[in-house]
């Protein structure tokens, strides 16, 4: 809103969150943000967690709007770090990944075997294509979702017996509906209330 209709009042502090859109120095949003900062008593804070993922030199695009007296060149990056960059690193959490296999239905095994043969043939290097075909074949065979729901419930029951509170993430909307349909105590997160007398619990 301040891009085309700038505010005329002064500010104590300007805070711009998710300011990825302000990288372009020629955009109206960047100019409006700079005007607000110049009219503020204590300057501004520009916050974003998605600024430079590939290389530290990408930070220069963001620092252009700070209009610092330091030249905008890569060799001055360290000086920018000392002046403008504050980093907060969250504590790392260790994750344990366990793959639980499922039996491929008998009526789908011929199609699945054809896809496996492609892995050994000329398309062996095109793993993305082969994986997409595998998912397509398995998704068609598990269209009802009962076998998937039974396998998920077996894993969930083991985790609950060990004292955990499992949260299941469905890969697609159809998988989520199948889990809710075939598991008595399953519910969509923040959509439905858990039944008071759940037969599955």
pLDDT tens digit sequence for 181-193: 888 777 776 555 5
The mean pLDDT of 51-78, rounded to a whole number, is: 62
Q: DSSP labels for 4-55? A: TS---S-BS-EEEESGGGG--TTSHHHHHHHHHHHTBSS-EEEE-S-S-SS-
Query: Do the Cβ atoms of 73 and 44 come closer than 8 Å?
Result: no
pLDDT of amino acid 162: 92
**What value does the mean pLDDT of the chain take?**
72
Length of the chain: 201
pLDDT in tens, 91-145: 777 777 888 787 887 888 888 888 877 777 655 566 777 778 887 887 777 667 7
pLDDT of amino acid 185: 75
Residue 186, Cβ neighbours under 10 Å: how many? 21
Better pLDDT: 118 or 65: 118
Q: Percent of the chain beyond pLDDT 70?
A: 58
């Amino acid at each position: 809103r301040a891009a085309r209709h700038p505010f005329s009042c002064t500010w104590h502090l300007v805070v711009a969150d998710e300011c990825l859109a302000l990288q372009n120095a020629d955009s109206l949003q960047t100019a409006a943000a700079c005007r607000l900062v110049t009219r503020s008593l204590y300057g501004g804070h520009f916050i974003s967690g998605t600024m430079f993922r590939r290389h530290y030199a990408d930070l220069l695009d963001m620092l252009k709007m700070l209009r610092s007296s330091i030249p905008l060149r890569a060799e001055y990056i360290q000086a920018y770090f000392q002046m403008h960059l504050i980093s907060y690193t969250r504590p790392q959490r260790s994750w344990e990944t366990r793959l639980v296999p499922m039996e491929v239905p008998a009526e789908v095994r011929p199609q699945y075997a054809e896809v496996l043969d492609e892995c050994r043939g000329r398309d062996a290097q095109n793993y993305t294509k082969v994986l997409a075909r595998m998912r397509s074949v398995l998704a068609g065979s598990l269209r009802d979702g009962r076998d998937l729901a039974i396998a998920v419930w077996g894993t969930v029951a083991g985790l609950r017996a060990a004292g955990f509170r499992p949260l299941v993430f469905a890969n697609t909307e159809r998988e989520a509906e199948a889990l809710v349909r075939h598991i008595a105590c399953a519910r969509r997160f923040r959509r439905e209330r858990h039944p008071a007398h759940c037969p599955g619990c």
